[in-house]
Structure 1
Amino acid sequence: VQAAPQQVAEDKFVFDLPDYENINHVVVFMLGTIPFPEGMGGSVYFCYPDQSGMAVWQLLGFVTNEKPSAIFKISGLKSGKGSQHPFGAMNLPQTPTVAQIGISVELLENLAQQTPVANAAVSSVDSFTEFTQKMLDNFYNFASSFAVTQAQMTPNPSEAFIPANVVLKW
């Protein structure tokens, strides 16, 4: 989780994505502590270095106070063409193995008129459900790897224990 953006202009922020070649999806979400100003939202851009090291920016979509999160597939974007973006005039440091997510605060009317790159479509509910199921399966497998029998437990009054069957029933 990256919660410390670099502010590059009054209304523009970037987050570094190290080792981006191994990232398939990016989740962008607002923490809920600071909302966008009334009538504003954030365009979400993906930037990666092309073969010559030049920054290529692509519009992924947007987030707003009413839609504070989105999942974007970026695995197919790393060879596409760039698009018009508000970060062009800025001299942002770019290294070959670091990509960036850019957030540009803009009017809601402008956000609705923008066209994101086609293969970055926000994941559908079905794939989100699939992701959630896999995440919970992995959580259960991880938590189960620490399982011990009641006879093996060392009493520790300051530590809480949750029976595995409670997680399974849930």
Structure 2
Amino acid sequence: MLGCLVAGRPLQTDAVQVAGDKFVFRLVDYEQLSHLVVLLLGTVPFPPGTGGAVYFSFPGPEGGQVWQLLGFISNDKPSAIFRISGLKAGEGGSHPFGGMCAPRAPGSVAQVGVSVEPLEQLVQQTPVSNASVSTVEPFLLFTQRMLDSLYNFASSFALTQAQMSPSPTESFIPASCLLRWYQNFQRRLAQNPNFWRS
């Protein structure tokens, strides 16, 4: 049902169900992380009228766990990117997990908790301020416009085979090849806006 993704690591789908409507992922060596993505896998949606409040938990300086609300996901917003690098110094807040935590392991382990709650309640909650959800829309818009510009520029030089004159020093690329690349790039960008980083 849920997944947790951190750059450079495999997608985690092994959430521990600590209650009927609460799930926890473990993140080893969390100090190195700056962002994480929490997403619905598309196999099982949230029940109608509900979504998932996303919490981040890390070991507190005086023992115990510090829990902070990052935001939420829903069937209409099935994924979100959260910044976690600045959370370590912050104060903990109220959370629905109580003592229901995934088993602790030695070393540096944090937890990402997802609590299924009514959407009316989720939209009224205030996430911790320095966990602002990263936005990728401006980047996607820039990339789309850049691809359009490249395709339009290259297409302006298109010639039919009848118009071509032999030129041993020039290479010609079929416009259909560029169009295929353009469509493939758009599809991959829609699936994962950060695919180009790998």
TM over 0.5: yes
Name the residue aligned to 1:99: 110
1:44 aligns with 2:70: no
Post-superposition offset of 1:45 = 0.1
1:59 to 52, 69, 74: 69
Q: In structure 2, what residue type is equivalent to 1:45?
A: Y
1:109 aligns with 2:120: yes
Distance 1:85 1:34, change over 3 A: same
Distance 1:9 1:76, change over 3 A: same
Matches within 5 A, 1:25-44: 25-44=35-54
1:123 aligns with 2:155: no
**What percentage of residue pairs aligned between the two structures are identical?**
58
The normalised TM-score by structure 2 is 0.64
Post-superposition offset of 1:50 = 1.3
Distance 1:30 1:136, change over 3 A: closer
- CA distance in 2 between counterparts of 1:3 and 1:136 reads 19
Q: Secondary structure at the match of 2:123?
A: helix
Task: Show structure 1 runs of 4+ deviating over 6 A.
Answer: none
Distance 1:9 1:128, change over 3 A: farther
Larger Rg: 2
Distance 1:6 1:18, change over 3 A: same
- CA distance in 2 between counterparts of 1:15 and 1:87 reads 13
1:3 aligns with 2:13: yes
1:81 to 91, 106, 117: 91
Where structure 2 has 5 or more consecutive residues not aligned to the other structure, the ranges are: 1-10, 144-192
> Contact 2:16/2:102 (CA < 8 Å) preserved in 1?
no
Distance 1:69 1:128, change over 3 A: farther
Give a deviation string over 1:53-85, Cα, whole Å, max 9, x none.
Answer: 310000000000000000000000011100110
- CA distance in 2 between counterparts of 1:77 and 1:124 reads 18
Name the residue aligned to 1:147: none
Post-superposition offset of 1:135 = 4.4
Give a deviation string over 1:101-127, Cα, whole Å, max 9, x none.
Answer: 000000011101110000101102357
Q: Secondary structure at the match of 2:31?
A: helix
Name the residue aligned to 1:19: 29
> Contact 2:36/2:84 (CA < 8 Å) preserved in 1?
yes
Where structure 1 has 5 or more consecutive residues not aligned to the other structure, the ranges are: 140-170
Greater relative CO, 1 or 2 (CA 8 Å, sep 6+): 1
> Between Structure 1 and Structure 2, how many residues are aligned?
138
Cα root mean square deviation, aligned: 2.3
